[in-house]
Chains A and B, each alone.
Chain A
Amino acid sequence: MFKLERRPIPSKAMVILTPVLAVVLTMIAGGILFAFLGKNPFEAIRIIFWDPIFNDVVASYTRPQLLIKAAPLITIALGLSFGYRANIWNIGAEGQFIMGGIAGGAVGLAFYPTESVLIFPLMILAGAVGGFLWAMIPAFLKIKFNANEILVSLMLVYVAINFLGAMVTGPLRSPVGMNFPVSRNFNEYPSAYNGELIANTGLHMGVLATLAVVIVSYILLKHHIFGFQVRTAGQSPRAAKFSGVNPNITIAICLGISGGLAGMAGLFEVTGPAGKLSTNFPLGYGFTAIIVAFLGRLNPIGILFAGLLMALTYIGGELAQFQLSVPAASVQVFQGMLLFFMLAVEILVNFRIRLKKKEVA
């Protein structure tokens, strides 16, 4: 009936069209899911995709929240995209995110209660360094012993989670928290608080940093020799070597960038939306960012939109949950559908569907 035919060159139009197609397919399949749950499918789709941006009751709040939720996803995904282009698979961004939060948060808390405009920049730096150093462990082991960075970076996530537990029950535990395992609240310490820069816009330092990272990544990848080196290292390590790219340096740089950016995102999350260090502040951003990186086709602009779309399904999903009383699992299934269709329709970029004529014998 149908057959797939390879396109001579990847379709530019399909690169733009496939995400739209995926969203439409998700709306249809998701609508059927909600209908089976006895809910109004049109209302459900409207609540998830439309209300967070345009509903006059909640949108003034949820629009800024989209930025806040998307910022760490985008920042981390951008960092990961360099390595993924070069075939260096950092799966442990969640751990680097956590270590960045701890390192940056600890530096801030060390200064408490001194107030100074220098403290927050120092914390950002410490956050980035924390994530960077954590990513240097898999980098070192890969370069020195050729240890698989996928396994090492992933395992270090669990080390980081336990380290966080030890920190908030020990040295970083709030002296005014009645022994509960949380750090001091950053919103009670102005110099270290990552609050909204302009009220009700959602713009905090982390969001601004994300925008900067998008632009810098775009320039690096498209117009800088580094982008070329990374791409060559991924497509043909041998060719890269001949053109003078040192594979060890590429490994260190790629893991370092992703670790540093994840660490910075962790610091912004801890000092802003989460408000304090606790074992609950990591929400899986480091893992979700892997999905965002691929949804965005490892392209900075693509990642920007993928991150926002991801955030939209989270926030819209919450609205749908309490406005329609649908279970949390149905929203997760819905998100899963979106990812599924996104990846499934990607085939249309390189292939076209042809109707096969029936041959008469």
Chain B
Amino acid sequence: MKLLKTLLTGAALAVGLSGAVHAAEKVKVGFIYVGPTGDFGWSYEHDQGRLAVEEAFGDNVETVFVESVPESADSERVMTQMALSGTDLIFATSFNYMDHVMNVAKKFPNVKFEHATGFKRSDNVSTYSARFYEGRTVIGHIAGNMTETNTIGYIASYPIPEVIRGINAAYIAAKKVNPDVKMKIVWVFTWFDPGKEADAATALIDQGADIIMQHTDSPAAMTIAEEKGIYAFGQASDMIQFGPNARLSSIIDNWAPYYVNRVKAVMDGTWASTDTWDGIKPGMVGIGAFSDKIPADVQASATAIKDALSAGTMHSFTGPLNKQDGSVWLKDGETADDGTLAGMNFYVEGIDGEVPQ
């Protein structure tokens, strides 16, 4: 019956209201995601941010989204269609949307754009990202303490600074507590491909890894870790439901406060182009609850690191640190500046293999 009702009212609406009139005062916010909202990782958390916006502003806001948008010409078309349909603010939530965001923004000066993890800005394009590497420092510390084979497996997506930074941060923290630790890295050249991610996890385990970290969006590696009885960390989202025994902790992206703020700025007319790079302190990067498999003393030291990063008394990249080739990068006590971090394209000393060049 319900179906029939939908059909009938639907027919009436389609015939009558094909112009799609919407209230003028409502702020319309669009989101494009690189994966499905059901990836339980990266895109899922962005969609949670979208839902928080709806929650916060209720009837004053309308949100729309398109998922699984390839980072190519398709994204430009989707954003243009959104802009044409009266969207006031568009969040483009993956790195390679960058040039397409810039192209569309040029054509629609009155529409505001927010691009996640990029570095190109203009009057109506802001960028925002999180200091995920702070989270990597915490989980690297835990992994260094807990690995028995002294081998950490790392599933990497694309060799961009963001990802390389994460590998370095995790390695530095692990090495500090375990000088013998080795990092095995597999590049999968995708953000979201559960099949490839699972294959990479299996390959890493075959090479002796007993803890897996990832910079990809699906919980595939977590399920493999659970199956094989080893450890892993939740990425972007907590992922505990995929590895109740395997999951040690997680790095959780929390976009909600930022999204709510930016939508509010559009409503107030105070929106301006900005560059945001927030870490643990403002809550953009969260550390998931520690599993009781982690010994109490490691839990305590990990918490101390998290607090120090949050308080600003500690930096993930503090010298003395050498580059992979042995040349000095940071002198004793020196910390890395944001510019170097934003363009990082080298491994630190001790990591085997090379950045795909």
Q: Mark A residues whose CB is within 8 Å of B.
A: 35-36, 38-43, 46, 57-58, 61-62, 65, 68-69, 161, 165-166, 169-170, 178-182, 185, 187, 269, 273-276, 278-281, 283, 314-315, 318-319, 321-323, 325, 327-329
Contact = CB atoms under 8 A, between A and B. Distances in A.
Interface string B116-127: 000100000000
5 contacts: A39-B6, A39-B10, A61-B81, A278-B72, A322-B81
B6 A269 contact: no
A166 B11 CA distance: 53
B356 A169 contact: yes
A278 B267 CA distance: 37
A330 B101 CA distance: 26
Contacts of A161: 189
Interface string B1-24: 001001101110111001010000
Interface of B: 3, 6-7, 9-11, 13-15, 18, 20, 30, 36-38, 64-68, 70-74, 76-78, 80-82, 84-86, 95-96, 99-100, 103, 119, 158-161, 189, 342-343, 345, 356-357
A57 B28 CA distance: 16
Contact of B66 (A40, A182, A273, A321): A321
Nearest to B80: A61
A39 B13 CA distance: 11
B67 A328 contact: yes
B76 to A, nearest CB: 7
Given A46-B14, A178-B343, A58 B84 contact: yes
Contact of B160 (A61, A166, A180, A314): A180
A289 to B, nearest CB: 16
Contact of A274 (B65, B72, B81): B72
A193 B295 CA distance: 59
Contact of B82 (A169, A273, A278, A322): A322
B11 A42 contact: yes
B81 A319 contact: yes
Contacts of A58: 81, 84-85
B82 A329 contact: no
Given A57-B84, A165-B189, A169-B159, A322 B7 contact: no
Given A40-B6, A169-B357, A325 B65 contact: yes
Contacts of A178: 119, 161, 342-343
Q: Which of B72, B78, B100 has its CB near the most chain A CB atoms (within 10 A)?
A: B72
A40 to B, nearest CB: 3
A295 to B, nearest CB: 21
Contacts of A275: 73, 99-100, 103
Contacts of A68: 73
Given A169-B159, A318-B74, A321-B67, 8 more contacts: A40-B6, A58-B84, A178-B343, A179-B161, A180-B161, A315-B77, A318-B78, A322-B65
B189 A323 contact: no
Contact of B36 (A42, A182, A327): A327
A325 B47 CA distance: 12
A46 B18 contact: yes
Q: Which of A39, A179, A279 has its CB near the most chain B CB atoms (within 10 A)?
A: A179
Contact of A323 (B20, B343, B357): B20
Contacts of B342: 178
A42 B10 contact: yes
Counting from the closest, the 8 A-B pairs by CB-CB distance are: A40-B10, A273-B73, A42-B14, A179-B345, A322-B64, A280-B71, A328-B68, A321-B66
Contact of A41 (B10, B65, B71, B84): B10
B3 A181 contact: no
A41 B7 contact: yes
B337 to A, nearest CB: 15
Contacts of A325: 64-65
A318 B85 CA distance: 12
A328 B66 contact: yes
Contacts of A61: 80-81, 84
B43 to A, nearest CB: 11
B36 A329 contact: yes
A280 B96 contact: yes
Contacts of B356: 165-166, 169, 181
Contacts of B15: 42
B9 A40 contact: yes
A278 B20 CA distance: 37
Contacts of A41: 6-7, 10
Nearest to A62: B81
A65 B68 CA distance: 19
B84 A280 contact: no
Contacts of B38: 327
A165 B190 CA distance: 11
Contacts of B80: 61
B64 A38 contact: no
Contacts of A323: 20, 64, 85
A71 to B, nearest CB: 11
A36 B65 CA distance: 20
Nearest to B32: A322
A335 to B, nearest CB: 13
A328 B15 CA distance: 25
B10 A43 contact: yes
Contact of B72 (A36, A62, A280, A314): A280
Nearest to B345: A179
A148 to B, nearest CB: 24
Given A35-B3, A43-B13, A283-B70, A322 B357 contact: no
Contacts of B74: 283, 314, 318
B120 to A, nearest CB: 10
A62 B85 CA distance: 12
A283 B81 contact: no
A274 B73 contact: yes
Contacts of A185: 99
A283 B357 CA distance: 23
A65 B80 CA distance: 11
B77 A328 contact: no
A278 B189 CA distance: 11
B77 A65 contact: yes
A129 B119 CA distance: 36
Contact of B14 (A40, A169, A281, A329): A40
